[in-house]
Amino acid sequence: MAFIAHERVQDYVDAVRSIEERGYTIKGIVIDGMKSLFSEFSAYKIQMCQYHMIQIVRRYLTLHPRLLAARELKALVDNIVNEDGPEFENKYRHWKSKWVEMLNRRSTLKSGKTQFTHRRLRSAMLSIDFYLPYLFTYQQPECDGMPNTNNKIEGTFTDLKKNLNNHSGMSKETRKRFISGFFLALGEI
């Protein structure tokens, strides 16, 4: 266990090294979207957390997008957990070809420069383009048992944060002991 102030790539590298030094074999890693981790851990099978992919797209498109293209893309991504890789990729390619003109539309600014008209929609699309090779790793035969999300550990951290918030007056050292005890108790379950 290590106590860190902020998530950094080096913290993840140290954690993976520590796990391997204890004799474990890491078959794959589920990542929540920190792009630099994908190149850092390229030697491993990487699964992009599908829940985080949904959240990334929602941030760009909102919960209730007005554009039909955005509504279609959001619906496609919202259903990602029920799809298999090739099926999703075909639907996504079809969506891109259907809306290619809209996606490439540019607007002229007062300065005379141009920019893409639907920048947030394009950003959502570009995010999917980046993460697509990692969205269905868990479906590969050699990745049997790999989860498609990191929700289990995220839920554990949510429980920890709730417990810490209920005891907000603790000193830094007491918080560390509390956290250690929390994880020790989990290990006994």
Same domain, yes or no: 105 and 58: yes
Same domain, yes or no: 113 and 178: no
Which own/partner contact pairs does 96-99 have at CB distance under 8 Å and 24+ positions apart? 96/125, 98/69, 99/69, 99/72
Q: What is the pLDDT of residue 155?
A: 63
Residue 35 backbone dihedrals phi, psi, to 5 degrees: -60, -35
Residue 170 lies in domain: 151-183
Q: What is the pLDDT of residue 20?
A: 95
Quick check: is 9 in a domain? no
Q: What is the pLDDT of residue 184?
A: 78
Q: What is the pLDDT of residue 168?
A: 79
Low-confidence ranges of the chain (pLDDT < 50): none
